[in-house]
Structure 1
Amino acid sequence: MSTVLIVDDAQFMRTMLSKLVEEEGYEVVGEAVNGIDAVQKYQELNPDLVTMDITMPEMDGIEAMVEIKKVDPDAKIIVCSAMGQKPMVVDALEAGAEDFIVKPIKPEKVKEAMKNILS
């Protein structure tokens, strides 16, 4: 079973994403509330996929992706962010994101992205 780490500073987003992940038959192995937390949890849990918010306290999602990619160049990350401006999307993809989903997220889009990356 594929495992997923959910990174978002908003509890309601983590809850909603967890539900989507589990509906698709994947396992949520952890949740992180900021980039620093995300990097630590990634190293501990070694998930198959990460959903990453960008705007978070302490360390943002772009920095966290860069750190995670240093540890594991093959890390699979989907960015889920309200910051859908083109430069932000480009930054995320350059940092190694597999996909970029703009909030408010559409459940089908998240499920499709997970399937594409994990299958």
Structure 2
Amino acid sequence: MTDMPFDQQVITIALCALGTMLTRFLPFLLFSGKKATPPLIQYLGKALPCAVFAMLVVYCLKDVKLLSGSHGVPEVLSLAVTLALQQWKGQMLLSIAGGTVLYMFLVQTVFG
């Protein structure tokens, strides 16, 4: 188990819960329906999903070795399926899940 005393465990859990609630409720308190949303926040709402998706792609492909192992074939196929699903349905969750499922299938069965 842990070496942390019970009171510290309770305080840690309470602080985690408070931090989670704060991040969930703060935007509603700061940007109520009474005032217009600032242009910077509107821009971030449009730009960040694409930036997060791009960062996820870079992170997933950073360790691919094209000259050894499977030569990046599972990664390229999964990326192509992810892009095709995104173009077809426009659902980020479906695209990521579809590419991930294909990748896991390929590395565990075909290239495993």
Considering the TM-score relative to the shorter chain, is it more than 0.5? no
Q: Which has the larger radius of gyration?
A: 2
| Larger relative contact order (CA 8 Å, sep ≥ 6) | 1
| TM-score bin (small chain) | under 0.3
Say which structure is richer in helix.
2
As a proportion of its length, which structure holds more strand?
A: 1
TM-score (norm 1): 0.26
